[in-house]
Amino acid sequence: MSLLQIEDLQVSYRRAGHPDVMAVAGADLSVAPGEIVGLVGETGCGKSTLARACLGLLRPSGGTVHFDGAPVTPLGRRPRPAAQRRLQMIFQDPFASLNSRRRVGAQIGDALRLNPSPTTVGEWLTRVGLPESAAGRYPHEFSGGQRQRIAIARALAAQPSLIVADEPIAALDASAQAQIANLLVDLARSEGVSLLFISHDLAIVRQIADRTAVMYLGRVVETGPTAELWDTPAHPYSSALIGAVPRPDGLHRLPDELPGDVPDPASPPPGCRFHPRCPVAFDRCATEDPPAITWQDRTVRCLLHTEGEPLHAIN
Amino acid sequence: MSLLDVSDLRVLLPTADGLQPAVDGVGFTVGEREIVGVAGESGSGKTISMLALLGLTPPGARVTGSAGFGGQDLLALKGKALRDVRGRSIAVVFQDPMTSLHPMLTIGRQLTEHVRHHLGLSKRAALDRAAELLDLVRIPDPRGALGRYPHQFSGGMRQRIAIAMALGCSPDLLIADEPTTALDVTVQAGILRLLDRLRTENGLSIILITHDLGVLSSVADRLYVYYAGRIVETGATSGIIQQPRHPYTQGLLRALPRAEDGLTPIGGTPPSLGAVPAGCAFHPRCAFAEASCAVDRPELVDGLACPINPLVRS
């Protein structure tokens, strides 16, 4: 039973004078209770759009998003429905997501009132490594890393069962990235909260996620347990992403290049969306849209695999 | 014989509390066809020491030391002599290519302006040169690209164009400041391969500034590790990455996501300008620190500014 279940999700953006852009074009993803799922992919692949649709911040043009068994309805002017209050979010830019004119304590206090909770603002500040006195201060008095700690405290104070974190460490200094990633994961684990961790940084996701989902041009092309996906990537795109990560091993090894850019989502290539950049594409790839092939706990959309047979690594 | 030989470089920056040292006595060299990596956290002085070489420090800053380049001292150059070096012999590429590209001028116009200025080429010759440069950095359809604007290219392509512009006057040295930080790994891989190819095929020397030791591991020959305005460790890349000697370098490597061990961040935060601790600047964050570390400032000896040398001890 999944806590978050996304099926065939489609989200389009309207553009005046241009065809609609389908940023998410039939994506499937699930997050189980207590699970940490990493969602990776290049800029423009639709990761953030998918996150916003999960949270009800965008209206899908097709498909469904279910949270805790109930459909997620797009938010309007009214408060978030009670059924979705255990769904919380952390954004990339803590400068934008915190209210700059309210004290930190008041903002965490709002979250505490959302769901019955025996905890206090001071306890949450302590748990994210800030002094209790921070409650009386304003967001501008803190550094980027500290503000992201406040955002984490606010999300967790609402007693969520799932947190969607969209690039939560991308805007931080290198030294703060590891600290904040560790903090978020440790707290999610100790509270039993599921985490959908969206990042373009594969190395971080490899380190923290139980399961990894790889997204390309609006589709989730591969999902699987992180270690297996990393060791034996079944989709050529996953393989290319992994090969492009520079390794700090001192061996002077140049990372592998993936030629070309992500195509314009307004006019995606026919067949497999990755075929124009794929090093192992063959004739069928240009015409057939690859179906999802599942073997045990892994799923891949690539014509090199056959339903009912074990997946093999593509290198 | 080094292409660039910097010694005892100090940069004092104006702050509310008067001049404060952002770079406090660093020395480094760059050889012919060498890629030299400069690592460190933001605020460690790595960018400002490169800008100082080109006379690009903010008004009120004071720069001392020497920087031998092609028989002259860069830090003694002024006016036209400095402008002739800057952009011609030494070129710079920044993290955000849009800082060096004008959004409302065509790529062709931007790529020809400085080659016409520095090299005195005719308009037609300059356009030929521009197309040649775009081809060198692997921009598809170079001739067609000359008539387009920066927004019509992706982030990775823009960075390639910024590199093409930097290469316009065939510089001897390219300073690349976090050139791939804002890019996806797939695009980053292409830029790193391009830098490596420019070194191998065009004989370019490169200073690559980045906090990403993975990037440096893949292309840099030698490394300088900055902390709080000083160099704490230097040597061949493979040696430093495989056997880091300075506790700070060890911390940087442990903070990287790697399969073997989890993310282990360095505790504390780097000191801010004007509040650098006495003795070894890293001692408040160092697990090996002894009483003497808070008093004696370690000098760089045999590529290491740490008298304790935890590698030998543990």
pLDDT tens-digit map of A266-291: 889 999 999 999 999 999 999 999 99
**Positions of chain B with pLDDT under 70:** 258-262, 310-314
Q: Which has the closest alpha carbon to A314: B160, A15, A304, A141? A: A304
Q: Tell me if A254 and B218 make a contact (CB, 8 A cut-off).
A: yes
Any CB–CB contact under 8 A between B213 and chain A?
Answer: yes
Cα distances (angstroms) measured from residue B225 to each of A88, B92, B115:
40, 20, 35
Q: Which two tokens stand for residue A311?
A: 């997946």
Closest-CA residue of B relative to A260 is B187
Q: Tell me if B185 and A247 make a contact (CB, 8 A cut-off).
A: no
Whether the CB-CB separation of A277 and A259 falls below 8 Å is answered with yes
pLDDT tens-digit map of A45-69: 899 999 999 999 999 999 999 999 9
Any CB–CB contact under 8 A between B155 and chain A?
Answer: yes
pLDDT tens-digit map of B23-37: 999 999 999 999 999
The ipTM estimated for the assembled molecules is 0.83
How many C-beta atoms lie closer than 10 Å to residue A2's C-beta? 16
- Kindly report the nearest CA distance between residue B262 and chain A, in angstroms: 7
Residues of B in contact with A255 (CB under 8 A): 185, 188-189, 192-193, 218
Q: Which two tokens stand for residue A268?
A: 């995606």
Q: Tell me if B253 and A248 make a contact (CB, 8 A cut-off).
A: yes
**Residue B312, pLDDT score:** 57
Any CB–CB contact under 8 A between B215 and chain A?
Answer: yes
Any CB–CB contact under 8 A between B152 and chain A?
Answer: no
A positions 163-192 inside 8 Å of B (CB): 173-176, 178-179, 181-182
Q: Tell me if A173 and B264 make a contact (CB, 8 A cut-off).
A: no
A positions 228-287 inside 8 Å of B (CB): 240-241, 243-259, 261
**3-state DSSP of B138-205:** CCCCHHHHCCCCHHHCCHHHHHHHHHHHHCCCCCCEEEEECCCCCCCHHHHHHHHHHHHHHHHHHCCE
Q: Tell me if A261 and B154 make a contact (CB, 8 A cut-off).
A: yes
**Positions of chain A with pLDDT under 50:** none
DSSP 8-class letter at B266: P
**Residue B314, pLDDT score:** 47
**Residue A171, pLDDT score:** 78
**Residue A292, pLDDT score:** 95
Q: Tell me if B265 and A175 make a contact (CB, 8 A cut-off).
A: yes
Q: Please give the Cα distance from A236 to B37 (Å, whole number).
A: 32
Parallel, antiparallel, or unpaired: how do β-strands B205-209 and B173-177 relate? parallel
Any CB–CB contact under 8 A between B200 and chain A?
Answer: no
Q: Which of B242, B257, B259 sits opposite A250 (nearest CB)?
A: B242
DSSP string over A103-151: -HHHHHHHHHHHS--S--HHHHHHHTT--GGGGGS-GGGS-HHHHHHHH
Sign of CA dihedral A170, B94, B23, B206: positive
Q: Tell me if B155 and A43 make a contact (CB, 8 A cut-off).
A: yes
- The pTM assigned to this predicted structure is 0.88
